[in-house]
Structure 1
Amino acid sequence: MLVDVRTYTVRPGTGPAQLELYEKYGLPVQVRHIGQPLCYLQAESGEMNTLVHMWVYESAADRENRRAAQAADPDWKVYLEENVKAGYLINQRTTLMTPVKFCPPLKRK
């Protein structure tokens, strides 16, 4: 099992617009190729203007295959272009993690 933890920082005040853009253009493509995220969160305190989402994969190979299919999807390219045009994103950090032995099993949705 592999969990892809993605942390994005957006320009102050642009969180709602970024989420709207993602919900319209990005989420449908990701659900089609990867499935539902384990979670999708926004900061309520601490480092504000932060969005975190997590995706569960069976293995590194599963992640590689699903993400390659997503990258090849023309709708994903539209999302990326819209993201660039909007200019809301400042930073992205991706961390691949594995569950510890006493964690309940995670399931892809």
Structure 2
Amino acid sequence: MFVEQRVYTLKPGATPAFLDYYEQNGRAVQIGHLGNPVGYYSTEIGPLNQMVMSWYYASLDERTRKRQQLASDPEWMAYLKHAREWVTTQHTTILKPAPFFTEHLQAYIHRGRKS
């Protein structure tokens, strides 16, 4: 199991428009393929104009399968066409939970699937 963390740096001042557009046009289709995110944040202190998103996967094979399905969804492709206009850079990191944190992460993910 692991968490994929994606950090998108947006053009200055674009965060509110990006969030509104994502909520209206991208969120439902993305959750439909990937499930609920572990976290979805904007930066307040430090490097600004960043969106930090975290997604849970049981395996790299699951990640590959889910991301391929998302990438082939016409609704998601239409969303990306406009959303990419706000993005200047992307950084993706794969995070492996510490052994003592695995149970907590699994419980959190299980609770998120109920909502």
The normalised TM-score by structure 2 is: 0.87
Number of the residue aligned with 1:92 = 90
Q: What secondary structure sits across from 1:13 in the alignment?
A: coil
Matched, 1:102 2:100: yes
Name the aligned partner's letter for residue 21 of structure 2: L
User: How many positions carry a matched residue from both structures?
Assistant: 107
Which string of whole-angstrom CA distances, capped at 9 and with x for unpartnered residues, describes residues 71-94 of structure 1? 11111111111224xx21111101
CA–CA distance in structure 1, aligned partners of residues 19 and 90 of structure 2: 15
Q: What secondary structure sits across from 1:8 in the alignment?
A: strand
Query: Would you tell me which structure has more helix in proportion to its own residues?
Result: 2
The normalised TM-score by structure 1 is: 0.91
Number of the residue aligned with 2:4 = 4
Matched, 1:22 2:25: no
Q: What secondary structure sits across from 2:16 in the alignment?
A: helix
Name the aligned partner's letter for residue 78 of structure 2: V
CA–CA distance in structure 1, aligned partners of residues 70 and 7 of structure 2: 19
CA–CA distance in structure 1, aligned partners of residues 44 and 91 of structure 2: 19
Structure 2 spans left out of the alignment, 5+ residues? none
CA RMSD of aligned residues (A): 1.2
